[in-house]
Amino acid sequence: AAAIEKIRREVVRHDGTADIIDVAKIDNEFPSNFVIYELLNSSYGFKGDVVDSLCQSLDSDATGRRFYAREWVAVIDRGDIVVARITDDDSCETIIERGTVRSYAGGSVLYYEYCNIDFIDNLDQGENVALLDADKLHFPLKVRRWREGDWFVPFGMSGRKKLSDYLIDKKVSVAEKSRQFVLMSGDDIVWVIGRRLDDRYAITRKTENVLRVVRDTL
Question: Looking at residue 89, what is its pLDDT?
Answer: 83
Q: Which of these, 80, 72, 65, lies nearest to 40 by C-alpha position?
A: 72
Q: State the Cα–Cα distance between residues 211 and 84, nearest whole angstrom.
A: 32
Confidence of residue 112 (pLDDT cuts 50, 70, 90): very high
Is the pLDDT score of 29 beyond 90? no
Is the pLDDT score of 118 beyond 90? no
Contacts of 63 (CB under 8 A, 6+ apart): 76, 77, 78
Is the pLDDT score of 21 beyond 90? yes
User: Is omega for the bond preceding 140 within 30 degrees of 0, making it cis?
Assistant: yes
Contacts of 135 (CB under 8 A, 6+ apart): 207, 208, 209
Q: Which of these, 43, 39, 41, lies nearest to 30 by C-alpha position?
A: 39
Between 127-136, 173-182, 192-201, the lowest mean confidence (pLDDT) is in: 173-182
Q: What is the pLDDT of residues 143-171, one digit of tens each?
A: 999 999 999 999 999 899 999 999 999 99
Is the pLDDT score of 213 beyond 90? yes
Q: State the Cα–Cα distance between residues 195 and 191, nearest whole angstrom.
A: 8
Query: 89 burial class (0-12, 13-18, 19+ CB within 10 angstroms)?
Result: exposed
Is the pLDDT score of 197 beyond 90? yes
Is the pLDDT score of 218 beyond 70? no
Question: Is 210 within 8 Å of 137 (Cβ atoms)?
Answer: no
Mean pLDDT of 7-27: 93
Between 121-135, 156-170, 201-215, the lowest mean confidence (pLDDT) is in: 121-135
